[in-house]
Amino acid sequence: MHKIEIIGNVGRDAEMRYTPSGAAVASFSVAVNEKYTASNGEKVSNTIWYKVNMWGAQAETANQYVKKGMKIYVSGRMQADPATGGPRIWETNDGQARTSFEMTGREMEFLTYPEQQEQRDAGDMLPPEDDVPF
């Protein structure tokens, strides 16, 4: 058994689609920000992107409520890139390498809503939209 839990900021509104068999799937991206001070005193900031896929009734809920900017908790399982067995690797428009991970979500909890986003500390903001991988 494996399980992953993330808390982060939604990068784009959930997008709904249906499989050929009619199963509902909603996808959205989540940026998980990590900040720490290195041993040399340097402040380090890192963002890891996750593409989340919710299925069934959870997909319907995500499609209705998951909006860009809100803080969300998601638990589920990781999906490895079939070609590499690791995270998806992609480049930004300016040629910087980035990685993202895919997960199948099983549970989610809304921690803030978009209108509350404006009240958050500017130090915990999302990266520029050009850096959103999906």
pLDDT, tens digit (0-9, with 9 covering 90-100), for 33-78: 999 999 999 999 999 889 999 999 999 999 999 999 999 999 999 9
Q: Are 28 and 16 in contact (CB under 8 A)?
A: no
Residue matched to tokens 């249906």: 18
Contacts of 87 (CB under 8 A, 6+ apart): 80, 81, 99, 100, 101
Helices (H), the chain: 56-65, 114-117
CA angle (45, 13, 131) in 5-degree steps? 35
Average pLDDT along the chain: 86
Which is it for strands 88-91 and 43-55: parallel, antiparallel or unpaired? Answer: unpaired
Q: Are 18 and 24 in contact (CB under 8 A)?
A: yes
Q: Are 50 and 101 in contact (CB under 8 A)?
A: yes
Q: What is the pLDDT of residue 134?
A: 52
Return the CATH class of domain 4-38+49-126.
mainly beta
